[in-house]
Amino acid sequence: MYTKKFWGNPELGPPLAGNPMLLRYAKYTRWGGTTVGAYSTFMAFKDIGTENQTFLTVPDAVVGIGSLSFVGLKHFAGVKYPIVGKLAFFYGVARLSYDLGVHYGPSKLFAPKPFHFSPGGPPNVNFYDYMLNSGLID
Amino acid sequence: MQNIYNMIWADAIVRFKKHNPDEESWKVKLLVYLSVMNSLNLFMVGLWAQYFGWFKIPFIEVNIFSPLDKSISFALTFALPFFIVNYFLIFHRSRYEQILKKTPKSNTNIALTYSLTTIISTFLTAIYYGYIG
């Protein structure tokens, strides 16, 4: 009973085979391996190339490289591990969400914006300091 | 050099079609995947050059959408040139058909060997450069 529930009917396949929700979801994760692999790898290698490593650089590199390896195995050797692509897809979604939070999260929404006196002027200097340094006021 | 390049592409096309016969977008997938591999190779060479102080990798900086900027920057600097070159050398006017005719069949899985060697060596180089070297 349990075995049949777990492995499914031999004629109909596993219990979730043909599930419309999973099929719809699989359409988006089909490119997950290559896309997330390239995205994570590029991001990690850009960090390493510019010597700006963060605590997420190694996980990015590992996920990206692992994902690209399995894509290569699938393309050229016919070895298929769909779970790797899906895990990579989830990692990519989580990573993108984290980055969105870092760049556009509430802490950035309400943070005071630096004042730029002029486009060519010194950055992060307010109007009073600029006038003081330029000798316009005492 | 051209022979090796053609051998890798011919082997990649043959094996991809063999293992994924129903895949309709095989050209795009192969082009993207092998261009990424080429770009990783170039990055590895650049990283070693940077390590020895010969030059600094000139990344093209972009400011489009912050979470994707790094990836886009790397892709523009390393992957896009290979993408264009590979497209014109392999897929433009179906040049791959001539390459498949000219290139002798090989029993070695050259495409997979090339991919995995590239991936592992680039990963080790990056880890060495970023964290050990």
Nearest CA in chain B to A70: B116
Structure tokens at A71: 């894509």
d(CA B88, nearest CA chain A) in Å: 22
Report chain B residues whose CB lies below 8 A from the CB of A107. none
Residues whose CB falls within 8 Å of the CB of residue A85, separated by 6 or more in sequence, listed in order: A29, A30, A32, A33, A67, A70, A71
Structure tokens at B54: 């010969």
Per the DSSP assignment, residues forming a β-bridge with A9 are A13
d(CA A15, nearest CA chain B) in Å: 25
The mean pLDDT value for B108-117 works out to 93
Are A122 and A130 in contact by the 8 Å Cβ rule? The answer is yes
pLDDT at A114: 59
Nearest to B111 among A41, A61, A76 (CB): A76
Report chain A residues whose CB lies below 8 A from the CB of B131. 53, 58
| CA A17 to each of CA A8, A26, A73, A124, B35: distance values in angstroms, whole numbers, following the listed order | 9, 11, 24, 58, 34
Q: Where are chain B's structural domains?
A: 2-132
Start-to-end C-alpha separation, chain A: 89
Q: Which percentage of chain B shows pLDDT scores above 70?
A: 98
Per the DSSP assignment, residues forming a β-bridge with A13 are A9
Nearest to B67 among A37, A61, A103 (CB): A103
Structure tokens at B84: 């264009």
Q: Which stretches of chain A score pLDDT less than 70?
A: 1-32, 111-126
**Residues B44, B47, B52, B57: is their CA dihedral positive or negative?**
positive
- Using a CB–CB cut-off of 8 Å, the residues of A that contact B are 34, 37-39, 41-51, 53, 57-58, 61, 65, 68-69, 71-78, 96, 99-100, 102-104
pLDDT at B121: 95
Per the DSSP assignment, residues forming a β-bridge with B19 are none
| CA B90 to each of CA B5, B20, B21, B40, B80: distance values in angstroms, whole numbers, following the listed order | 10, 19, 20, 19, 15
Question: Cα(B130)–Cα(A22) distance, rounded to whole angstroms?
Answer: 40
Of residues B94 and A117, more confidently modeled: B94
Query: What is the tally of helices (H) and strands (E) in chain B?
Result: 6, 0
CB contact under 8 A, B59 and A49: yes
Are B125 and B44 in contact by the 8 Å Cβ rule? The answer is yes
ipTM: 0.90
CB contact under 8 A, B126 and A34: no
pLDDT tier at B8, thresholds 50, 70, 90? very high
Are A75 and B15 in contact by the 8 Å Cβ rule? The answer is yes
Q: Residues 63-82, chain B: which have Cβ within 8 Å of A? A: 66-68, 70-71, 73-75, 79
pLDDT tens digits for B22-58? 888 899 999 999 999 999 999 999 999 999 999 899 9
Question: Cα(B65)–Cα(B55) distance, rounded to whole angstroms?
Answer: 28
Quickly count: other Cβ atoms within 10 Å of residue A85's Cβ.
24
pLDDT at A105: 83
